[in-house]
Structure 1
Amino acid sequence: MIEPYERALDDVPGAHPYPRSSRYHAVEIGVHRAPDGTGVRYAKRRLLPPLDEAAEETVPHTVSSGERADQLGQRYFGDPGQWWRIADANPVLDPRELTDEPGERVAVPLPGGFPGGTGGPGVRNG
């Protein structure tokens, strides 16, 4: 769990551009130099851990009609913005793919962390 004083670090100018709850928080930030010399910051590539390693760190969830990825994030992590953890475990790019078929089973990472996770509410780095 992130302490309130740690959240304040997310607002410090020059700090990492993504909050601690973001999937991009642990991603290295690069700087591209334009021909005129100005620097453009960007998030370097974010790789997912191998799914075979992650399979035992998940629990199944059966999708209900009308359910959305943000609702799953709220239910399992206490934060609707954490839907991306579930997307990473399945893996899907579009969060609608997680819940577009009622009755489909999706993998939900355990609070202990999905290998390669970046931490965040209720999630330890794994």
Structure 2
Amino acid sequence: MSRGMARAQLLILEPPPKVGAKPGAVLERVRFQFNPNRLSLTKSTEWRRKPSRMAAESATPEFVGSGPRSLSLEVFLDATDTHDGSVERKVEQLMVACVPTEKSLRAKKPASPWVRFEWGSGRTTSFDGVLSSFSVEYTLFDTDGSPLRATCAVGIEEATADALGQNPTSGTPEASRTHVVVAGDTLAQLAWQEYGDPAAWRTIAEANDIDDPLELLPGSELLVPTTADPATRVPTEVAV
């Protein structure tokens, strides 16, 4: 039995009611008429250098943090077969993500919706975010001037809610950074890289509520405390 083709869609979600919370209910489910033929994903990191006038080479960079993912895609709309105004209706659905929701206005905390692009089993391009840019180019019109064909350019910037204590400036005693898991990563290996002690892997496990340290999903992000908690280290055996 052949599997049907997965159809891309954009979920428009009620924004979180407060900092650190997850987005709320689905406001719109915009199913794409045609799947995108190209997706552009970017992610940045921030580094800091302290230049010295006496140094012959540049200073060693200090890692500051991991920036958000950004996704760019185009949505193609066509109503040349139907002449039913569906192009503008789809555009209006997408533009809902550009204005504050009624619920946020009633709460006197205006906020535009969050969005999430979904397409089959894709993981790296599916994340909670906000619409950072949106534009429409109409390229064909009916005899009454209504658009029959359009291309929408959509930009999404990641806006994943941080768990309490993950922000180094939130007043917590210890700062943290994030690490994107790649194939072959282990907590012991990461603990060795961060702390010089593979036995400190429990510090990372507890910070991320990991029950099984052997099951790390490539592409997921781990919170890595900048210092290891001695209480979480596995004691090493000493020969006597």
TM-score (norm 1): 0.44
Structure with the greater relative contact order (CA < 8 A, sep ≥ 6): 1 or 2? 1
Instruction: Give the structure with the larger helix fraction.
Output: 1
Structure with greater Cα Rg: 2
